[in-house]
Amino acid sequence: MAPRKKTRHYLAIDFRSSHIKVAVGPASGAPLAIARSPVAYFKPEAGPDTAVEFDPGLALRRIVSTIKSALSESGLAPVDISGIGVTSQHQGIVLLDLEGRPLYGGPDRDMRAVFEGAEIDSNTMVDVWELTGHGPGMLTAWARLKWFAANAPDIYGRTRTVCAIADWIVLELTGELLMEQSLAVESGLGLVASGQPARALAPALNLGDITLPATCPAGTVVGKLKRNTAKRLGLPTGIPVVACGPDTQSGLLGLGAQLPNAVGIVSGWSTACQRVTERPVFDDTRAMWTGRHVIENRWVLEGNAGETGRTYQWLLSLLHGLPDNAAENTPNKKHGTTKLTTADVMDTIDDAIAKIEPGATGISSFLGPSFVHMANVGMRTGGLLFPVPISFEPPDRIGIARAALENFAFGIRHNLERLDSFRGPALSIAIGGGMVKTKAFRSILAGVLDCEIGVAESGETTSLGALSQIAAGTGNGPSIAEYAAIRATELSKYEPDAAHAGVYESMYDEWRHRERLLASFEV
């Protein structure tokens, strides 16, 4: 009898908007362990109120401690790790000096460069959006570079290159710097058609001092774990380190979305809706982004429903009197226990939310999630609408939470309708991310869309995709595209309730009507 083949395990680092997540597990199936650590952001003294940064040194220490926690929880020995991979948020960047030392770490929500972005958008000689598929200018790395050139010349003067957060982490692990091409496109540093570095943009935007690194496809082994870094992590030297695509495209892989016209929805802190295409497809109104998939010869057209998980956490904290940091477990030193978190509340009220019939509360939610026009991002009027006088039928916390989930589902449907307008009905629809951990949301979404949806029930969609990229990159299994086919078989199927379809249809039409009315009010 042939000996049983040993399962290989991998370690995926995901630098997200709210936290650092490390997953340990095989190339398919569920991770063995996941550890999280919050990202510590601060407002720089010299920047505007909209500026946000993170300390790269502190971030590295948290990455190290989170890796150790995940390894400990997995029960694996250090020698069991066959590869490491890194993914990160879309527009998060790091500025590096000549020696590769970080000078600035900025998340995608650092909005310091609004005016510099407007200057890029008004440049009639250079169309960054056409070349990279992304905008507006204030969201690109180029706008922040121009801000530093004008407002922090000491930092800009030492800056020699720029890259995504994930690329920088790989540099720290290996000593080698490459830009993963689909991630480079997200911040305007890569050309969407070819994946090559957008090097011509530096001199065109009067940033000729900046040199971009070479790019590589997702799944590329950039280098091997350095001796000193391996020692800090308690891992063997020489483990291959793989460049993974952006968090959303990695999530798309985790959902098994690889064929043209397949739709993947990654619904976590925010909700991205991506449609797979066999060539770059552009929205002439620039309401949606065009990006690269992590799978070769595949692209994505992306709509965004805005902040969903962030909004839901805020709402539950408000309704249940939780502290602002309730999204994270907060040790209670006095009693040796853990304080109530928003995750606890989500679990507690899930069944009660599911028992409410569609439209039964009369509450309509307009808390932000909808179709976000990327060329016209800004504030708008929202809120909650419910019947008055209150004494007739007082809205309760469960009903308000239900209305919020319906709001999120309506926002996703609005995005999918926009995507359908380009290529016709979707081939398939799958969803993952933290929001699907709320079981009621899965059923609500299937009902609002009135079609079968595939659900990655663990919610850890990005980690699933990253683990598969690492395995493919290290040569320990099929290709990335073949892993996508495997991931598709792991989804749970949710069918809409036929009795609810007509109710949701009229609710959606009324929600769109009221949303347009609210949009006419100035903030």
Choose the weakest-confidence range: 229-243, 253-267, 301-315, 318-332: 318-332
CB 39 within 8 A of CB 18: yes
Confidence of residue 56 (pLDDT cuts 50, 70, 90): very high
Same domain, 240 and 320: no
Q: To which residue do tokens 């959606």 refer?
A: 508
Q: What is the mean pLDDT of residues 285-291?
A: 95
> Residue 325: pLDDT above 80?
no
What CATH number is associated with residue 330? 3.30.420.40
Q: How far apart are CA 293 and CA 290, in angstroms?
A: 10
Q: Which residue has the higher pLDDT, 471 or 322?
A: 471
Q: Mean pLDDT score of the chain, rounded to an integer?
A: 92
Q: Which residue has the higher pLDDT, 254 or 359?
A: 254
CB 247 within 8 A of CB 294: no
φ/ψ of residue 96, rounded to 5: -125, 145
> Residue 402: pLDDT above 50?
yes
Out of 246, 275, 293, pick the residue that ends a domain: 246
> Residue 195: pLDDT above 70?
yes
Structure tokens at 146: 């121009």
Q: How many domains does the chain have?
A: 2
Percent of the chain scored above 70 by pLDDT?
96
The answer to the question of residue 233 being in a domain is yes
- Give per-residue pLDDT as tens, 140-180: 999 999 999 999 999 999 999 999 999 999 999 999 999 99
The answer to the question of residue 168 being in a domain is yes
**Cα–Cα distances in angstroms (integers) from residue 502 to residues 364, 414, 426, 440, 449, in the given order:** 17, 17, 21, 19, 11
Same domain, 22 and 139: yes
Amino acid identity at 168: W
The three-state DSSP-derived secondary structure of 448-508 is HHCCCEEECCCCCHHHHHHHHHHHHHCCCCCCHHHHHHHHHHCCEEECCCHHHHHHHHHHH
- Give per-residue pLDDT as tens, 416-453: 999 999 989 999 999 999 999 999 999 999 999 999 99
Predicted local confidence at residue 483, as pLDDT: 95
175's torsion region: left (phi>0), alpha (psi -120 to 50) or beta?
left
Cβ count near 391 (within 10 Å): 6
Predicted local confidence at residue 330, as pLDDT: 42
> Residue 398: pLDDT above 90?
yes
Confidence of residue 334 (pLDDT cuts 50, 70, 90): very low
Cα distance between the two ends of the chain = 72
Same domain, 221 and 78: yes
Q: What is the mean pLDDT of residues 475-494?
A: 93
> Residue 311: pLDDT above 90?
yes
Q: Considering the entire predicted model, what is its pTM? A: 0.92
- Give per-residue pLDDT as tens, 214-251: 999 999 999 999 999 999 999 999 999 999 999 999 99
The answer to the question of residue 473 being in a domain is no
Amino acid identity at 37: S
The answer to the question of residue 343 being in a domain is yes
Predicted local confidence at residue 520, as pLDDT: 87
Same domain, 238 and 376: no
Q: Which residue has the higher pLDDT, 6 or 324?
A: 6
The answer to the question of residue 191 being in a domain is yes
Q: Which residues contact 48 (CB under 8 A, 6 or more apart)?
A: 112
Predicted local confidence at residue 347, as pLDDT: 87
Structure tokens at 277: 């295409």
Predicted local confidence at residue 175, as pLDDT: 97
Confidence of residue 374 (pLDDT cuts 50, 70, 90): confident
Same domain, 174 and 69: yes
> Residue 43: pLDDT above 60?
yes
Q: How far apart are CA 387 and CA 177, in angstroms?
A: 58
Confidence of residue 37 (pLDDT cuts 50, 70, 90): very high
Same domain, 70 and 215: yes
Confidence of residue 1 (pLDDT cuts 50, 70, 90): very low
Same domain, 331 and 232: no
CB 180 within 8 A of CB 215: yes
Radius of gyration for the alpha carbons in the chain, expressed in angstroms and rounded:
23
For residue 6, the 8-state DSSP code is P
Amino acid identity at 41: Y
Same domain, 356 and 230: no
Q: Which residue has the higher pLDDT, 321 or 198?
A: 198
Q: What is the mean pLDDT of residues 195-222?
A: 96
Q: Which residue has the higher pLDDT, 477 or 13?
A: 13
The answer to the question of residue 162 being in a domain is yes
Same domain, 194 and 124: yes
Predicted local confidence at residue 341, as pLDDT: 79
Amino acid identity at 147: W
Domain that holds residue 145: 9-246
Closest of 394, 368, 398 to residue 381, by C-alpha: 368
CB 113 within 8 A of CB 44: no
φ/ψ of residue 321, rounded to 5: 65, 35
CB 363 within 8 A of CB 383: no
- Is residue 215 classed exposed, middle or buried when 0-12, 13-18 and 19+ CB atoms within 10 A define those classes? buried
Give the E-state strand segments of 151-204 in sequence order. 161-164, 179-180
The answer to the question of residue 277 being in a domain is no
Transcribe 325-368 into DSSP letters. TTTS--EETTTTEE---HHHHHHHHHHHHHHSPTTSS--EEESS
Same domain, 221 and 329: no
Q: To which residue do tokens 């370690």 refer?
A: 11
Same domain, 155 and 81: yes
CB 411 within 8 A of CB 369: yes
CB 265 within 8 A of CB 412: yes
Out of 246, 265, 289, pick the residue that ends a domain: 246
3-class SS of residue 197: strand
Predicted local confidence at residue 406, as pLDDT: 96
Same domain, 80 and 219: yes
> Residue 338: pLDDT above 80?
no
The answer to the question of residue 477 being in a domain is no
Amino acid identity at 483: Y
> Residue 16: pLDDT above 60?
yes
Out of 231, 246, 261, pick the residue that ends a domain: 246
Closest of 11, 161, 16, 198 to residue 90, by C-alpha: 16
